[in-house]
Structure 1
Amino acid sequence: MSLPNKKKSNNTAPTTDELLLEIRDKVSSQNRSRLVLDSLRVCALLLWPIGLILMTTSAGRAPWEKSPNDLPHTAIVNVRGEIAAGSAADADRIIPAIKAAFENENSHGVILRINSPGGSPVPAGRIHDEILELRAQHPEKKVYAVIDDIGASGAYYIAVAANEIYANRASMIGSIGVISASFDFTGLMEKVGIQRRTLTAGSNKALLDPYSPMPEDQRQFWIGQLQQTHKQFIERVKDGRGAKLSTNESIFSGLIWNGEQALELGLIDGLASHTKVASSIVGQTETVDYSPRQDIFERFMGRAKVAFQTLVSSNHP
């Protein structure tokens, strides 16, 4: 009589070869998963700059959508921060934007949205003159200056080139004057026993040197330069505002006024925001921003500087 065969036990320990095969399969599976994740990461790193560029250049539109520039609109050009070489409000950045706004046949009007305490008279003068030239080339298209927080000194110099000027009742406007400021360290140097050695070829080459005493003839010369620049500023304001301007001579004293006062003095034409001007005066609620682009750091620093100078101007008229 034969004995029945015994079934192989399920609890038999796996052999070494089986363990190695199992480990290899697990490692291969993990490697494949890791490879897929790494590939996805690389794709994301490569694609996000492309997406960012598309979003920036198309202002958030899909590539197949029509650009607002191709439709009737009101053109906006922001003049923000200090007007100086290399700044966001530099003439080399603002003038091309204004030109593009004027030359687009779909823009029904141009709004200069100003939020600036002023700056150098040279770039301000360049922007002012360019606006007048573009107005002559495009007589059918009007330009409006709209002042936000502040439009003072060189910023107001730019504003008077516009057909009309608007502001908020609390905006700070004016400061029609010229300033040159420095320090005199000669007294401090004398106390600490420091002497200044300056060699020049030209008797007035050290003009405005804060470490040397200022002779009276140099002081009078520099005051004359400031007065001449002030005279040019006053002429531009009178040319731009014409009969609208009050005869109150304090307008040109360097004082700064709020929007309601500026309206009474004829420095502005009305109280309105840029959106109100676009819809009610230009007649196009759709707006397109032609302003030159800034990075985040430039925007932050520009706004901080404007806020500080606005505070100083409002507290010390």
Structure 2
Amino acid sequence: MEEQSAQERPVEKHSESIHQHQKPCPPPPPRSRRWLIRGLVVLLLISVVFNLGFFAWYQEYFTIGGGPAEQFETGDQFAKEKIAIISITGTIMPPFTERILRSIKRAHEDDQVKGILLEIDSPGGLVADSHQIYHRLVELRKTKPIVVYMKRMAASGGYYVAMGAGEEGVIFAEPTTWTGSLGVIIPRFDLSGLAEKVGVVSDPLKTGEFKDALNPFRNLTDRERAIWDHILDESYQRFLNVITDNRKDLDYDQVKKLATGQIYPATDAKQNGLIDEIGYQEDALARLQEITGLNKVCVIRYSHPRSLADVLLGSAEASHIENRKQALLDSTVPRAMYFASWMGEMPGWQ
């Protein structure tokens, strides 16, 4: 027993020595201090957001007339006569519609601008917005020739605005451009089957029979479908007439035959009379310079102050996130669209 206790004593002393050399853990910061740190971080984030917002506002405020700025693209930088590039990119919808309209207005008022290159890379968008742009282009072409240059895509509403060039305008498309998709769509979600499974009953309080005609939690009645078919047909007929009025080699019946919602690659679009030439930006600019008769010309592009969404995420990403967030919320709101639905994504609405 004495030998065993003697052997254990050094171990006990060694253990006591280890405990003596270990430093105690510091006490956690008081709760009030942790909340102070979190509050400062939140204030810092808010400050960053506000400063970015003020920066975007500052740029927009000090742009002449709130309109677009000019950026040199190509040609003779010191030439007085100009060709202006008006770009229509992405989904045609607010707030981008207003930017396009401001560019058209700027080109219309600038006497040094002798011609317009309408650059389109869009799957389409809202019916009203597409027609607003088309209407302003019709006014612009009365004094200045317009040549259209289609990039990756000019479908549905993207093709609709291209008609702003008129019968005398020339439409170029790249060899890989997709165009067409002529038609109208009203997005609608049918969740009636899901609602039945989970026991959801839609019972809106409304003042008229058709006030909730696009309710996603029930099927459309025959009367409701007839009304929306009429609305769709009205926009569809306008689309057909706009193309007929502005494509000199196509009559109404030919346009209607093409307007099935089908997409056309550039070669097929040219064969069917939807475009005039297959080429690139330099080809479109050369034709426009030939039309205007200018030897020396400064080609400029209109640019716009970046919004807060542009600064934080970039236009495309901000739009894409907003689209997904708003899609279900807006599913009961009727929005007629000239849009290429084959893309699988519907644009968000404002």
TM-score by length of 2: 0.63
Kept in 2, the 8 Å contact 1:102–1:110? The answer is no
Kept in 2, the 8 Å contact 1:72–1:107? The answer is yes
Task: Work out the CA distance in 1 between the residues paired with 2:78 and 2:114.
Answer: 11
Equivalent residue in structure 1 for 2:157, among 141, 146, 154: 154
Secondary structure class of the residue paired with 2:254: coil
Task: Work out the CA distance in 1 between the residues paired with 2:184 and 2:147.
Answer: 25
Q: Provide closer, same or farther for how the CA distance between residues 173 and 279 of structure 1 changes in structure 2, counting only shifts above 3 A.
A: same
Q: Provide closer, same or farther for how the CA distance between residues 212 and 287 of structure 1 changes in structure 2, counting only shifts above 3 A.
A: same
User: Does residue 210 in structure 1 map to residue 216 in structure 2?
Assistant: yes
Give the deviation of 1:110 after TM superposition: 0.3
* Counterpart in the other structure of 1:78: 87
* Counterpart in the other structure of 2:262: 255
Task: Work out the CA distance in 1 between the residues paired with 2:164 and 2:148.
Answer: 8
Question: 284-293 vs 165-174, which deviates more?
Answer: 284-293
Aligned residues: 248
Alignment identity in percent? 26
User: Does residue 286 in structure 1 map to residue 298 in structure 2?
Assistant: yes
Letter of the 2:314 partner, please give it. E
* Counterpart in the other structure of 1:96: 102
Secondary structure class of the residue paired with 2:237: helix
Task: Work out the CA distance in 2 between the residues paired with 1:57 and 1:159.
Answer: 23
Kept in 1, the 8 Å contact 2:240–2:255? The answer is no
Letter of the 1:279 partner, please give it. A
Q: Provide closer, same or farther for how the CA distance between residues 125 and 198 of structure 1 changes in structure 2, counting only shifts above 3 A.
A: same
User: Does residue 298 in structure 1 map to residue 314 in structure 2?
Assistant: yes
User: Does residue 239 in structure 1 map to residue 251 in structure 2?
Assistant: no
Kept in 1, the 8 Å contact 2:153–2:178? The answer is yes
Kept in 2, the 8 Å contact 1:93–1:292? The answer is yes
Kept in 2, the 8 Å contact 1:77–1:110? The answer is yes
Structure number with higher relative contact order (C-alpha < 8 Å, ≥ 6 residues apart): 2
Give the deviation of 1:217 after TM superposition: 0.9
Task: Work out the CA distance in 2 between the residues paired with 1:114 and 1:210.
Answer: 34
Task: Work out the CA distance in 2 between the residues paired with 1:264 and 1:69.
Answer: 40
Task: Work out the CA distance in 2 between the residues paired with 1:244 and 1:211.
Answer: 43
Kept in 2, the 8 Å contact 1:108–1:282? The answer is no
TM-score by length of 1: 0.69
Letter of the 1:277 partner, please give it. A
User: Does residue 193 in structure 1 map to residue 199 in structure 2?
Assistant: yes
Task: Work out the CA distance in 2 between the residues paired with 1:277 and 1:194.
Answer: 56
Give the deviation of 1:280 after TM superposition: 4.0
Give the deviation of 1:285 after TM superposition: 6.0
Task: Work out the CA distance in 2 between the residues paired with 1:298 and 1:215.
Answer: 42
Kept in 2, the 8 Å contact 1:82–1:302? The answer is no
Give the deviation of 1:103 after TM superposition: 2.7
Task: Work out the CA distance in 2 between the residues paired with 1:269 and 1:230.
Answer: 23
* Counterpart in the other structure of 2:273: 266
- Runs of 4+ displaced beyond 6 Å: 302-305
* Counterpart in the other structure of 1:111: 117
Letter of the 2:150 partner, please give it. I
Give the alignment's Cα RMSD to 1 decimal. Answer: 3.1
Question: 98-107 vs 126-135, which deviates more?
Answer: 98-107
Secondary structure class of the residue paired with 2:149: strand
Q: Determine which structure has more spread, i.e. the larger CA radius of gyration.
A: 1
Secondary structure class of the residue paired with 1:226: helix
* Counterpart in the other structure of 1:143: 146
Equivalent residues in 2 for 1:4-19, closer than 5 Å? none
Kept in 2, the 8 Å contact 1:98–1:290? The answer is no
Task: Work out the CA distance in 1 between the residues paired with 2:254 and 2:220.
Answer: 37
1:91-126 per-position Cα deviation (integer Å, ceiling 9, x unaligned)? x21112112123322223101100000000101101
Letter of the 1:145 partner, please give it. V
1:120-145 per-position Cα deviation (integer Å, ceiling 9, x unaligned)? 01011011011111222x1xx20111
Task: Work out the CA distance in 2 between the residues paired with 1:123 and 1:114.
Answer: 15
* Counterpart in the other structure of 2:137: 131
Kept in 2, the 8 Å contact 1:94–1:291? The answer is no
Secondary structure class of the residue paired with 1:160: helix
Gaps of 5+ in 1: 1-48, 61-66
